[in-house]
Amino acid sequence: MKRIILIIASLLILSGCVSNEMGDLRAYVQKTKATYKGKVDPLPEFKQSPPYTYAAMDIRDPFKPVVDIEVFSGPYRGPRPDENRPREPLEEFSLDSLRMVGTLAQKESEWILIKDPDGLLHRVSIGHYMGKNYGKVTAISEEEVTLVELVSDKNNGWKERDASIALSE
């Protein structure tokens, strides 16, 4: 019984919220319809521009490579790293993290002292390898060590690049 009374009361309350007075809305719609009678302004006229004539037929096409890439047939004949040789301890560090701290000489042998990022000293001579790019020591002086690195190029080959490490002060 309480439930029925509650339902009837809520319906009466909700019916009080509904109003049939929408006169102001109807007046606005009629005023808008009277003002705009469906007229659409015509599209503006566009000026026809003269056609463009491409006059750069004898100039290089910007969408083609500057250098013609040769397609190699046969095996690659350029430099390449020796994958079968044992890796040396200084090859696990990049060259910029290694420091040359001194030189040693004994009779006809010369070495340089290289300090790795862990603080260990390594004795290196011509022919040793260091750096992540297969850097081979080619020359030693009191001021610097010179290397030749092998870096990968875009054509699955390798190219040589000179590098050096100067004496740290």
Give per-residue pLDDT as tens, 110-125: 899 999 999 999 999 9
Q: Identify whether 11 is part of a domain.
A: no
Place of tokens 């102001």: 24
Alpha carbon of 103 to those of 21, 53, 96, 138, 148: distances in Å?
103, 69, 19, 15, 20
Residue 20 has pLDDT above 80, yes or no: no
Report how many domains make up the chain. Answer: 1
Return the pLDDT at 117: 92
Mean pLDDT of 1-26: 78
Q: Domain residues for 159?
A: 91-166
- What CATH code is carried by the domain that includes residue 112? 2.30.30.830
Q: Identify whether 35 is part of a domain.
A: no
Q: Identify whether 79 is part of a domain.
A: no
Q: Which of the 8 DSSP states describes residue 4?
A: H
Residue count of the chain: 169
The tokens for 142 are 């009191």
Q: Identify whether 23 is part of a domain.
A: no
Closest CA to 132 of 146, 117, 149, 145: 149
